[in-house]
Structure 1
Amino acid sequence: MKHAGTRQSDTAYERLREMVIRGALKPGALIEEGAEMERLGVGRTPLREALQRLAQEDLIEVVPRRGYFVTTISAAEMFQIFEARLSMEIQAVRLAAERATPEDLAAQCALLDEARTGMAADNRDPAWNLDIDERFHGLIAAASGNRYLAATLTRFYGLSVRTLYLSKIPITLAKDEIANFVAVFDAIAAGDPDQAERAMRRHLEFDPMTMIGLAPKQSVEA
């Protein structure tokens, strides 16, 4: 939902990011600026600001004199994305266990409450379940106290989720991951980096293609 004071470029960024990640904008597709300005209800400058942000996240490629294109991704690049992300997720959760503030812990508890509410309603929407997972990782990154690490993880999370939508890789639902969420947050609250790392590794698993808490439960639909 758009809030008062939200910049047009932020709105365009969020919606375009979602379309790229979920495959609504296909790899290699040209971004038609006029069509997107009309669809998003923004001007050319906010749109280009959003596209530049997406280019920094490797979701959009800027081709001089040709325009903006959705990036393509190979199997080798998928592996490298997951490989790099694993190291950063472990670093983030260890730092979070050392640095989390009372506000961080409260936000983590609130997310668990929200997840349980959705689980009680048997919410199986892949978008909702992935949103819970993304926010789970985002809260840990924020609690790490390292804004550069948090920003990089946001970028790599988007790239990771995009590979799921493009590959139709199955996902677990929040109800199947809630025990891991609780274990990670409990370890952070206890200030135990080693336990936090073990819990995060259980969530991520060791197969690079199932590294965001994935298992063969439900396919992602683009």
Structure 2
Amino acid sequence: MKKIILTFSILFMYTACETGTKYEQNTTVKKKKLDRSILDLVEDTPSAKELVKKSYIEENQTARIKHKYDPENPLNGDTLVEDNYIEEESPIKEESFMAENIADELNVKSIRVGYHDTYTRLVFDIEKNGAKAKKVGDYNVDYDTQTGIISVTLNGYKNSLAKIPKFSKKSIIEEIYFDKSLNDNTFEFSIKLRDSANVKSYDYKNPARLIIDIKPF
């Protein structure tokens, strides 16, 4: 009789430990080694043995939930966050880059040649959307003394409608020719000289004109 009373006292103590505890749905169940001495005190009945075994089952609350960590809102209960979890970053939308001068839509309307006593002047008339432009825009003029070629790069220009002039054999200028466009917004043209010369470039406003003065040595 004492054994039966002792057995039920132990069972009551262990089953009471299980009440009032709530676990996450995805908890991991971990069984500990059963103390055989307890079973020896219990009568040889299957139901009693199973009850003792059940009381020894220990729930390990280690459900791992992926979420963004917020230091101002600590986690509730014993739920743990995976250490190696990294929140997937949202893809960065690539912004389409457009240079300021793409909207210029400038073009060379005409090329004029002026012959003076000591120099030859080239005048490039610039227009925008079919009207006279106020400014020439972004350009670069580079003279290579080794090759005798003046390279002109125009940025923000849609195209060139200018008719290329022809030059006599007495002219310091041999020819003008357009090179392949670097992109849809930039193109180059070259001025081939017959002799070495001093080259000066500048521009005028209202209306826009690009000026290149060529003075032979």
TM-score, normalising length: structure 1: 0.20
Rg larger in 1 or in 2? 2
User: Which structure has more RCO (C-alpha within 8 Å, separation ≥ 6)?
Assistant: 1
Q: Which has the higher helix share?
A: 1
